[in-house]
Amino acid sequence: GAGVSQSPSNKVTEKGKDVELRCDPISGHTALYWYRQSLGQGLEFLIYFQGNSAPDKSGLPSDRFSAERTGGSVSTLTIQRTQQEDSAVYLCASSLRKTPSDSYNEQFFGPGTRLTVL
């Protein structure tokens, strides 16, 4: 079956521009996560969606970062006024987690979007 897909696979932008990164989770997965992988910070959590709501945004590094999810499916991570330190690989993951009382469900990762800010 189809896994998590992300687009674009690579994005080069100029400092100060806005970018949108897209994630298509596995069909039926209610939980969606964004992570960022950068040389200086390693792999870090950004935001978690359960359905269309985001109960945990604690990893978003600044107010230039925002994300939304529609129809309980596709998610978009938006970075406004990009800075060079935003350069990283942005990874999306999805899982079957439905309620906080569920036992752990596996997170399946997409291939990532490599963002380069010049």
Partner 1 sequence: AQKVTQAQTEISVVEKEDVTLDCVYETRDTTYYLFWYKQPPSGELVFLIRRNSFDEQNEISGRYSWNFQKSTSSFNFTITASQVVDSAVYFCALSDHGGATNKLIFGTGTLLAVQP
Radius of gyration over every alpha carbon of the chain, rounded to an integer in angstroms: 14
Looking at residue 15, its amino acid is K
Asked if 1 is part of the footprint of partner 1 (rule: CB under 8 A), the reply reads: no
Instruction: Name the residue nearer to partner 1 (CB basis): 41 or 62.
Output: 41
Q: 98: how many CB neighbours lie within 10 A of its CB?
A: 13
Instruction: Name the residue nearer to partner 1 (CB basis): 4 or 117.
Output: 4
Which of 15, 16, 28, 43 forms a contact with partner 1 (CB under 8 A)?
A: 43
Q: Which residues, 6 or more positions from 99, have their beta carbon under 8 angstroms from its beta carbon?
A: none
Specify the 3-state DSSP secondary structure of 6: strand
Q: Which residues, 6 or more positions from 102, have their beta carbon under 8 angstroms from its beta carbon?
A: none
Q: Binding string, 54-93, against partner 1, x = CB under 8 A?
A: -xx--x-----------------------------x-x-x
Asked if 44 is part of the footprint of partner 1 (rule: CB under 8 A), the reply reads: yes
Which residues in this chain contact partner 1 in the complex, by CB under 8 A? Answer: 31, 33, 35, 42-45, 48, 55-56, 59, 89, 91, 93, 95, 97, 100-101, 103-112, 114
